[in-house]
Protein backbone atom coordinates (compact mmCIF):
# COMPACT_ATOMS: atom_id res chain seq x y z
CA UNK A 1 0.00 0.00 0.00
CA UNK A 2 1.41 3.30 -1.02
CA UNK A 3 0.96 6.49 0.85
CA UNK A 4 -2.45 8.09 0.77
CA UNK A 5 -2.67 11.76 0.25
CA UNK A 6 -5.30 14.42 0.63
CA UNK A 7 -4.16 15.98 -2.58
CA UNK A 8 -6.45 15.57 -5.50
CA UNK A 9 -5.03 13.59 -8.35
CA UNK A 10 -5.79 15.01 -11.75
CA UNK A 11 -4.52 13.76 -15.05
CA UNK A 12 -4.94 14.81 -18.61
CA UNK A 13 -4.27 13.35 -22.00
CA UNK A 14 -5.03 13.80 -25.61
CA UNK A 15 -7.60 11.75 -27.45
CA UNK A 16 -8.00 10.87 -31.06
CA UNK A 17 -9.21 13.80 -33.09
CA UNK A 18 -7.29 16.39 -31.16
CA UNK A 19 -9.70 16.47 -28.30
CA UNK A 20 -8.86 17.34 -24.78
CA UNK A 21 -9.56 15.04 -21.88
CA UNK A 22 -9.40 16.11 -18.33
CA UNK A 23 -9.65 13.52 -15.66
CA UNK A 24 -10.17 13.93 -11.98
CA UNK A 25 -9.89 10.98 -9.68
CA UNK A 26 -10.75 10.92 -6.07
CA UNK A 27 -12.93 13.95 -5.73
CA UNK A 28 -16.06 11.92 -5.58
CA UNK A 29 -14.64 10.11 -2.59
CA UNK A 30 -14.03 13.29 -0.72
CA UNK A 31 -16.22 13.86 2.29
CA UNK A 32 -15.51 17.46 2.98
CA UNK A 33 -13.26 20.24 1.83
CA UNK A 34 -10.48 17.84 0.87
CA UNK A 35 -10.03 15.05 -1.59
CA UNK A 36 -8.77 11.65 -0.68
CA UNK A 37 -7.18 9.39 -3.23
CA UNK A 38 -4.59 6.72 -3.43
CA UNK A 39 -1.11 7.96 -4.39
CA UNK A 40 -0.95 5.13 -6.92
CA UNK A 41 -4.33 5.99 -8.40
CA UNK A 42 -2.93 6.26 -11.91
CA UNK A 43 -1.21 2.85 -11.73
CA UNK A 44 -4.41 1.28 -10.54
CA UNK A 45 -6.40 2.83 -13.32
CA UNK A 46 -8.46 4.95 -11.00
CA UNK A 47 -8.09 8.01 -13.19
CA UNK A 48 -11.55 9.07 -14.20
CA UNK A 49 -12.38 11.34 -17.05
CA UNK A 50 -15.04 13.98 -16.92
CA UNK A 51 -14.43 16.72 -19.46
CA UNK A 52 -13.71 16.62 -23.20
CA UNK A 53 -13.39 19.62 -25.51
CA UNK A 54 -13.55 19.02 -29.24
CA UNK A 55 -11.92 21.23 -31.86
CA UNK A 56 -15.48 22.29 -32.72
CA UNK A 57 -15.67 23.87 -29.26
CA UNK A 58 -18.19 21.36 -27.94
CA UNK A 59 -17.63 20.38 -24.32
CA UNK A 60 -18.78 16.93 -23.29
CA UNK A 61 -19.09 16.24 -19.59
CA UNK A 62 -19.28 12.67 -18.33
CA UNK A 63 -21.67 12.17 -15.46
CA UNK A 64 -21.05 9.18 -13.16
CA UNK A 65 -24.60 9.17 -11.82
CA UNK A 66 -27.98 8.02 -13.06
CA UNK A 67 -30.66 10.39 -14.24
CA UNK A 68 -33.72 9.25 -12.29
CA UNK A 69 -35.78 12.38 -12.58
CA UNK A 70 -33.77 14.30 -10.03
CA UNK A 71 -31.85 16.23 -12.67
CA UNK A 72 -28.37 15.37 -11.44
CA UNK A 73 -26.71 15.33 -14.88
CA UNK A 74 -27.97 18.84 -15.56
CA UNK A 75 -26.89 20.11 -12.16
CA UNK A 76 -23.46 18.48 -12.32
CA UNK A 77 -22.81 19.76 -15.83
CA UNK A 78 -23.77 23.25 -14.66
CA UNK A 79 -21.27 23.00 -11.81
CA UNK A 80 -18.46 22.03 -14.18
CA UNK A 81 -19.44 24.55 -16.84
CA UNK A 82 -19.62 27.34 -14.28
CA UNK A 83 -16.05 26.86 -13.09
CA UNK A 84 -14.84 26.35 -16.63
CA UNK A 85 -16.44 29.62 -17.81
CA UNK A 86 -18.11 27.64 -20.56
CA UNK A 87 -20.89 28.65 -22.89
CA UNK A 88 -23.78 26.56 -21.53
CA UNK A 89 -25.29 26.16 -24.99
CA UNK A 90 -22.15 24.30 -26.11
CA UNK A 91 -22.25 21.79 -23.25
CA UNK A 92 -23.17 18.17 -23.94
CA UNK A 93 -23.74 15.56 -21.27
CA UNK A 94 -23.06 11.83 -21.39
CA UNK A 95 -23.49 9.10 -18.83
CA UNK A 96 -20.19 7.68 -17.66
CA UNK A 97 -19.76 3.98 -18.50
CA UNK A 98 -20.51 1.42 -15.79
CA UNK A 99 -16.84 0.78 -15.11
CA UNK A 100 -14.79 0.71 -11.92
CA UNK A 101 -12.92 3.77 -13.11
CA UNK A 102 -16.08 5.78 -12.60
CA UNK A 103 -16.86 4.39 -9.16
CA UNK A 104 -17.90 6.92 -6.59
CA UNK A 105 -17.91 6.46 -2.89
CA UNK A 106 -19.41 9.57 -1.50
CA UNK A 107 -22.58 7.74 -0.56
CA UNK A 108 -20.56 5.41 1.65
CA UNK A 109 -19.09 8.37 3.46
CA UNK A 110 -22.50 10.03 3.57
CA UNK A 111 -23.88 7.08 5.49
CA UNK A 112 -21.64 8.21 8.32
CA UNK A 113 -23.34 11.55 8.22
CA UNK A 114 -21.70 14.90 8.68
CA UNK A 115 -21.27 14.19 12.34
CA UNK A 116 -17.90 12.49 12.30
CA UNK A 117 -15.56 14.26 14.73
CA UNK A 118 -12.64 15.94 13.02
CA UNK A 119 -10.07 13.67 14.67
CA UNK A 120 -11.79 10.65 13.17
CA UNK A 121 -12.54 12.15 9.77
CA UNK A 122 -9.41 10.92 8.07
CA UNK A 123 -9.97 7.36 9.17
CA UNK A 124 -13.57 7.47 8.11
CA UNK A 125 -12.59 8.96 4.76
CA UNK A 126 -10.14 6.16 4.22
CA UNK A 127 -12.67 3.53 5.20
CA UNK A 128 -15.31 4.99 2.94
CA UNK A 129 -12.93 5.09 0.03
CA UNK A 130 -11.80 1.52 0.56
CA UNK A 131 -15.37 0.29 0.71
CA UNK A 132 -16.20 2.10 -2.51
CA UNK A 133 -13.10 0.67 -4.13
CA UNK A 134 -13.72 -2.89 -3.00
CA UNK A 135 -17.26 -2.96 -4.22
CA UNK A 136 -16.69 -0.84 -7.32
CA UNK A 137 -19.61 1.31 -6.25
CA UNK A 138 -21.18 3.54 -8.82
CA UNK A 139 -24.04 4.81 -6.81
CA UNK A 140 -26.72 7.42 -7.25
CA UNK A 141 -28.61 8.19 -4.09
CA UNK A 142 -28.65 9.86 -0.73
CA UNK A 143 -28.57 13.33 -2.29
CA UNK A 144 -24.86 12.74 -2.83
CA UNK A 145 -24.47 13.58 -6.51
CA UNK A 146 -24.34 17.35 -6.13
CA UNK A 147 -22.76 17.62 -2.70
CA UNK A 148 -20.23 14.91 -3.44
CA UNK A 149 -19.46 14.55 -7.13
CA UNK A 150 -20.55 18.10 -7.87
CA UNK A 151 -18.66 19.90 -5.16
CA UNK A 152 -15.50 17.81 -5.18
CA UNK A 153 -15.48 16.47 -8.72
CA UNK A 154 -17.21 18.68 -11.22
CA UNK A 155 -16.29 22.06 -9.81
CA UNK A 156 -12.63 21.20 -9.52
CA UNK A 157 -12.56 19.53 -12.92
CA UNK A 158 -14.08 22.60 -14.53
CA UNK A 159 -11.73 24.99 -12.74
CA UNK A 160 -8.69 22.91 -13.67
CA UNK A 161 -9.78 22.78 -17.30
CA UNK A 162 -10.16 26.55 -17.38
CA UNK A 163 -6.69 27.10 -15.91
CA UNK A 164 -5.18 24.78 -18.51
CA UNK A 165 -6.95 26.58 -21.35
CA UNK A 166 -5.75 29.93 -20.00
CA UNK A 167 -2.20 28.60 -19.83
CA UNK A 168 -2.42 27.28 -23.38
CA UNK A 169 -3.57 30.67 -24.61
CA UNK A 170 -0.81 32.45 -22.69
CA UNK A 171 1.81 30.15 -24.20
CA UNK A 172 0.43 30.69 -27.68
CA UNK A 173 0.40 34.45 -27.42
CA UNK A 174 3.53 34.85 -25.28
CA UNK A 175 1.69 36.74 -22.56
CA UNK A 176 1.22 36.07 -18.85
CA UNK A 177 -1.70 33.76 -18.11
CA UNK A 178 -2.87 36.23 -15.52
CA UNK A 179 -3.63 38.69 -18.31
CA UNK A 180 -5.92 36.21 -20.04
CA UNK A 181 -9.55 35.72 -19.13
CA UNK A 182 -12.05 33.00 -19.93
CA UNK A 183 -15.71 33.56 -20.61
CA UNK A 184 -18.35 31.83 -22.73
CA UNK A 185 -15.98 29.11 -23.93
CA UNK A 186 -13.46 31.62 -25.16
CA UNK A 187 -10.14 32.97 -23.86
CA UNK A 188 -9.33 36.60 -24.49
CA UNK A 189 -6.27 38.76 -23.96
CA UNK A 190 -7.71 42.22 -23.63
CA UNK A 191 -4.43 44.13 -23.93
CA UNK A 192 -3.73 42.76 -27.40
CA UNK A 193 -7.30 42.11 -28.43
CA UNK A 194 -6.63 38.46 -29.15
CA UNK A 195 -9.03 35.66 -28.50
CA UNK A 196 -9.41 31.93 -29.12
CA UNK A 197 -12.15 29.44 -28.48
CA UNK A 198 -11.71 26.62 -25.99
CA UNK A 199 -11.85 24.25 -28.93
CA UNK A 200 -8.95 26.00 -30.67
CA UNK A 201 -6.87 25.79 -27.49
CA UNK A 202 -7.89 22.30 -26.36
CA UNK A 203 -5.16 20.28 -28.05
CA UNK A 204 -2.42 22.51 -26.61
CA UNK A 205 -4.04 22.57 -23.20
CA UNK A 206 -4.26 18.80 -23.00
CA UNK A 207 -0.50 18.33 -22.85
CA UNK A 208 0.00 20.77 -19.98
CA UNK A 209 0.37 19.83 -16.35
CA UNK A 210 -2.94 19.75 -14.61
CA UNK A 211 -3.35 22.05 -11.63
CA UNK A 212 -4.11 20.02 -8.54
CA UNK A 213 -5.95 22.65 -6.54
CA UNK A 214 -7.38 25.22 -8.92
CA UNK A 215 -9.16 28.22 -7.45
CA UNK A 216 -12.93 27.91 -7.45
CA UNK A 217 -15.27 30.75 -8.26
CA UNK A 218 -16.94 32.85 -5.65
CA UNK A 219 -20.66 32.07 -5.72
CA UNK A 220 -21.33 35.79 -6.14
CA UNK A 221 -19.91 35.55 -9.65
CA UNK A 222 -21.93 32.53 -10.76
CA UNK A 223 -23.65 33.01 -14.10
CA UNK A 224 -24.82 29.47 -14.91
CA UNK A 225 -25.53 28.13 -11.47
CA UNK A 226 -28.29 30.04 -9.72
CA UNK A 227 -30.18 30.15 -12.99
CA UNK A 228 -32.94 27.83 -14.12
CA UNK A 229 -31.96 26.02 -17.30
CA UNK A 230 -33.97 23.40 -19.19
CA UNK A 231 -32.98 19.93 -18.08
CA UNK A 232 -30.71 18.12 -20.51
CA UNK A 233 -32.53 14.81 -20.19
CA UNK A 234 -36.02 15.97 -21.11
CA UNK A 235 -35.84 16.04 -24.93
CA UNK A 236 -35.10 12.31 -24.99
CA UNK A 237 -38.00 11.67 -22.63
CA UNK A 238 -40.60 13.23 -24.91
CA UNK A 239 -39.64 11.37 -28.09
CA UNK A 240 -39.15 7.85 -26.79
CA UNK A 241 -35.38 7.69 -27.21
CA UNK A 242 -34.47 7.75 -23.51
CA UNK A 243 -33.09 4.32 -22.60
CA UNK A 244 -34.27 2.59 -19.45
CA UNK A 245 -33.14 -0.71 -18.01
CA UNK A 246 -36.11 -2.51 -19.53
CA UNK A 247 -35.12 -1.22 -22.98
CA UNK A 248 -31.69 -2.83 -23.02
CA UNK A 249 -31.23 -5.86 -25.25
CA UNK A 250 -28.05 -7.90 -25.16
CA UNK A 251 -26.98 -10.77 -27.44
CA UNK A 252 -28.37 -14.07 -26.20
CA UNK A 253 -30.31 -12.36 -23.46
CA UNK A 254 -32.67 -14.62 -21.54
CA UNK A 255 -35.75 -13.57 -19.66
CA UNK A 256 -36.70 -14.81 -16.22
CA UNK A 257 -39.89 -14.68 -14.22
CA UNK A 258 -40.40 -15.64 -10.61
CA UNK A 259 -43.13 -18.02 -9.52
CA UNK A 260 -43.65 -17.45 -5.82
CA UNK A 261 -44.72 -20.18 -3.42
CA UNK A 262 -48.45 -19.67 -2.84
CA UNK A 263 -48.07 -20.23 0.91
CA UNK A 264 -45.52 -18.99 3.43
CA UNK A 265 -42.73 -21.47 3.99
CA UNK A 266 -43.66 -23.53 0.95
CA UNK A 267 -40.95 -25.84 -0.34
CA UNK A 268 -40.37 -26.75 -4.00
CA UNK A 269 -41.22 -30.42 -4.61
CA UNK A 270 -40.91 -30.74 -8.37
CA UNK A 271 -40.68 -28.67 -11.54
CA UNK A 272 -42.25 -29.52 -14.88
CA UNK A 273 -40.47 -27.39 -17.44
CA UNK A 274 -42.21 -28.94 -20.44
CA UNK A 275 -45.00 -26.35 -20.77
CA UNK A 276 -42.51 -23.48 -20.59
CA UNK A 277 -40.12 -25.09 -23.03
CA UNK A 278 -42.94 -25.63 -25.52
CA UNK A 279 -43.73 -21.91 -25.63
CA UNK A 280 -42.77 -19.90 -28.72
CA UNK A 281 -39.31 -18.41 -28.54
CA UNK A 282 -38.00 -20.73 -25.81
Binding site for other proteins (CB under 8 A): 67-70, 230-231, 233-244, 246-247, 249, 280
**Phi and psi at residue 51, to the nearest 5°:** -125, 130
Q: Is the dihedral of CA 142, 148, 150, 153 positive or negative?
A: negative
Q: In angstroms, what is the minimal distance from the CB of 140 to other proteins?
A: 12
Is the Cβ of residue 262 or residue 280 nearer to other proteins in the bound state? Answer: 280
d(CA 277, CA 69): 39
Is the Cβ of residue 44 or residue 231 nearer to other proteins in the bound state? Answer: 231
Q: In angstroms, what is the minimal distance from the CB of 255 to other proteins?
A: 10
Give ∠ CA 79-191-162 in degrees, rounded to 5. 20
Give ∠ CA 70-146-31 in degrees, rounded to 5. 140
Is the Cβ of residue 193 or residue 280 nearer to other proteins in the bound state? Answer: 280
Q: In angstroms, what is the minimal distance from the CB of 241 to other proteins?
A: 7
Give ∠ CA 127-130-132 in degrees, rounded to 5. 110
Q: In angstroms, what is the minimal distance from the CB of 199 to other proteins?
A: 27
Is the Cβ of residue 221 or residue 249 nearer to other proteins in the bound state? Answer: 249
Helix (H, G, I), strand (E, B) or coil at 266: coil
Amino acid sequence: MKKWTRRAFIGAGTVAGGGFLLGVAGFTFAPGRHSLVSADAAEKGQLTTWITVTPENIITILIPHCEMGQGAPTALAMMAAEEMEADWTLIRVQEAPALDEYANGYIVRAVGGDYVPAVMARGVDYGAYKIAEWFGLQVTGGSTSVRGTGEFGMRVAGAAAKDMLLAAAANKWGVPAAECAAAKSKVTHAASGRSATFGELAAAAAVLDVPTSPALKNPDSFTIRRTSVPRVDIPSKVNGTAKYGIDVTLPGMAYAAIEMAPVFGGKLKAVDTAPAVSMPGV
